[in-house]
Amino acid sequence: MTTINQEEIQKFSKLADEWWDANGKFKPLHAFNPVRIKYIIDKCKYHFKLKKKDEKPLSTLKVLDIGCGGGLVCEPLSRLGADVTGIDASFKNIEVAKIHAKKSDLKIKYFNTSPEKKEVNEKFDVILNLEVVEHVEDLDLFLKSSSDLLKKNGIMFIATINRTFESYVKAIIGAEYLLRWLPIGTHSWEKFLKPKEIEEKLIKLNLDKLNLDGLKFNIISNDWSLSKNCSVNYIIVAKKN
């Protein structure tokens, strides 16, 4: 049993050298990063009652980023004091992440693996599944394996794209074919998940939903912000009981 979809891994491995090019193939993620990093920080501060106001507010937390890519989320969280581990099924992604972390003088642990392989023998306060669930082979196994790595009372973030007509127009036709923000074929609309579908799976794993928020792009101001509209991009925060 595996959560690794080899076709998806090859797709992202071909782009691995562009992870840190803010104007390259991952330009949308670079634009996306500030709002989702702030969201993660705010939810962690609230849930774990973090009082620190210095430059290392996450210094008490162990964070696992699953499907970490080149480390776009790992590095900011590491700078904020978190003890960060990143895993990815693509060897090339992990090599890029390791090299960039070394250049940035950041101590981030990176492993070329997937959550079900149990090569990471520890549990975490925070688990991040950001823009990854729509690319895995076995979602139930993926979420179960992710949950197994989460501490009691820990929180998991799942960010993905809703399966709606609006998401087909914006995330497939708009982002891939018209604006060319992403290579054509990056996403498959039928693999997108509705929030309720994920929530039902989380309940079975004894994970309680804490938050459901949308993320929207303003084409005029060219930036992302939180929204109550979850019809395209959304993020779920769930707590392990």
190-202 pLDDT, tens digit per residue, is: 999 999 999 999 9
Q: Residues 114-168: pLDDT tens digits? A: 999 977 789 999 999 999 999 999 999 999 999 999 999 999 999 999 999 999 9
pLDDT of residue 9: 92
Q: What angle do CA 110, 47, 32 make, to 5 degrees?
A: 55
Which residue has 């962690």 as its token pair? 44
| Domains by residue range for the chain, with CATH | 6-240 (3.40.50.150)
pLDDT band at 8, cuts 50/70/90? confident
- What pTM does this model have? 0.93
Question: CA-CA distance, 139 to 114, in Å (whole number)?
Answer: 12
pLDDT of residue 198: 98
185 pLDDT more than 90: no
